[in-house]
Amino acid sequence: MFSEAQLRQYTTNGYVVIDDFFTAKEIRHISEHADLDLQNDSPRRVLESSSGFVRAVHGSHLEVPFFRSLIRISRFVNLAQQILDDQVYIHQFKINAKKAYGGELWEWHQDSYFWKHEDGMPTDNSVNFVVHLDEANDANGPLMLIPGSHRNGLLSYHTDQVSDDPKDAWKSTVSVALKHHLDHEALAALAQNNGIQAVTGRPGSVLVFHPTLVHGSTGNMSPFDRRLLILSYNAVSNALGEVESPRPEFLAGRTFTPIRPDDAERALTDFQLSGV
Ligand code: 6CS
Ligand code: FE
């Protein structure tokens, strides 16, 4: 659970970093399962535009038993319930690979802008847990954020008309050139006032951040991979409304059943790879 001081920090800055959230052994297991799903040729994956490397895989918790357990561990669920003051379910699950020698950038954005406009999420009462599977350092494209930027609400954006095959339209919301671009003047004003913070950390450290916090990251030309696993919990009272073209379930969950925190922590290290 968060202490009073951590809660205050979250409210003021929009993020908190927790070192050693997972042990080295746990993070090795999580990473092995992450790699298996990144390598699995599934429709839940998206590739980098120039190198063709795997950029990300989504919705592993719907397919992979290990990740079905991971999203239920009380370490996550209790914290999410505390922050959101409600029961929670998973809105989105993704593993971002940011491969060495060619992982591509993420444009500046606010997650809640995408979730409101693409998925019909009514408010920003949701929360992200970013699990560092590799060390994030100065060289491998760490996540950058603007402290306190969640307090200004949603900023203005310019939206591209996407003419893709409707079946693949979701890809423009998770690719190198995003469908919604944050207005540069709004970004500059915030960055000048609040500064930009890069979040570095050891494997096993977790960044908890608000869905309206402005963030992005550069490409990775270093020899070091930068894999992140990102769990986004939403309050049950903030369940998605109807939209014209809902994104696939693996990107925006529409099963709003509350998760009961489970003492499945042991599953993290007991799961054998053959159990996948
Ligand atoms: O569209 C989405 O849901 C995703 N896209 C971005 C750029 N960030 C949030 C979320 O993962
Ligand atoms: Fe994001």
| Alpha-carbon distance values, 246 to 30, 120, 166 (Å) | 30, 9, 11
Predicted TM-score (pTM) of the model is 0.96
Ligand 2 centroid distance, CA of 275 (Å): 30
pLDDT tens track for 195-213 = 999 999 999 999 999 999 9
Vertex 187, ends 2 and 221: CA angle to 5°?
80
pLDDT tens track for 113-133 = 999 999 999 999 999 999 999
**98, pLDDT greater than 70:** yes
Q: Pocket around ligand 1: residues whose beta carbon is below 6 Å from it?
A: 92, 94, 109, 111, 114-115, 118, 173-174, 178
For range 259-267, the mean pLDDT? 78
Indicate which atom in ligand 1 lies nearest the CA of residue 252.
3
Please, are residues 215 and 144 in contact by the beta-carbon 8 Å criterion? yes
- Reported as type and span, the H/E element at residue 169 is none
- Judged by its nearest atom, the ligand closest to the C-alpha of residue 215 is 2
pLDDT value at residue 266? 66
Q: Among 58, 92, 233, 243, say which to mutate for ligand 1: greatest number of ligand atoms within 8 Å of CB.
A: 92
Structure confidence at residue 271 as a pLDDT band (50, 70, 90)? low
**274, pLDDT greater than 50:** no
Ligand 2 centroid distance, CA of 215 (Å): 7
pLDDT tens track for 213-255 = 999 999 999 999 999 999 999 999 999 999 999 999 999 999 9
CA-nearest of 202, 204, 117, 122 to 155 is 117
Nearest residue (CA) to ligand 1, atom 8: 111
CA end-to-end span of the chain: 30
Ligand 2 centroid distance, CA of 260 (Å): 26
Structure confidence at residue 264 as a pLDDT band (50, 70, 90)? low
For range 26-30, the mean pLDDT? 96
As beta bridge partners, residue 234 has: 89, 126
**263, pLDDT greater than 90:** no
178: left (phi over 0), alpha (psi -120 to 50) or beta: beta
Structure confidence at residue 161 as a pLDDT band (50, 70, 90)? confident
Indicate which atom in ligand 1 lies nearest the CA of residue 230.
11
pLDDT value at residue 115? 98
As beta bridge partners, residue 228 has: 96, 132
Give phi and psi for 60, each to the nearest 5: -60, -25
pLDDT value at residue 162? 74
- Judged by its nearest atom, the ligand closest to the C-alpha of residue 112 is 1
* Beta-carbon count within 10 A of 167 CB: 9
- Judged by its nearest atom, the ligand closest to the C-alpha of residue 176 is 1
Name the one residue in this structure whose structure tokens are 């997650």: 111
- Judged by its nearest atom, the ligand closest to the C-alpha of residue 143 is 2
Burial 168-186 (b: 16+ CB within 10 A, else e): eebbbbbbeebbbbbeeeb
- Reported as type and span, the H/E element at residue 47 is strand 45-47
pLDDT value at residue 64? 97
As a whole number of angstroms, the distance between CA 37 and CA 26 comes to 17
Instruction: Calculate Rg over the CA atoms of the chain.
Output: 17
**272, pLDDT greater than 90:** no
Indicate which atom in ligand 1 lies nearest the CA of residue 107.
7
As a whole number of angstroms, the distance between CA 5 and CA 127 comes to 18
pLDDT value at residue 262? 82
Vertex 250, ends 265 and 89: CA angle to 5°?
50
Indicate which atom in ligand 1 lies nearest the CA of residue 111.
9
pLDDT tens track for 34-74 = 999 999 999 999 999 999 999 999 999 999 999 999 999 99
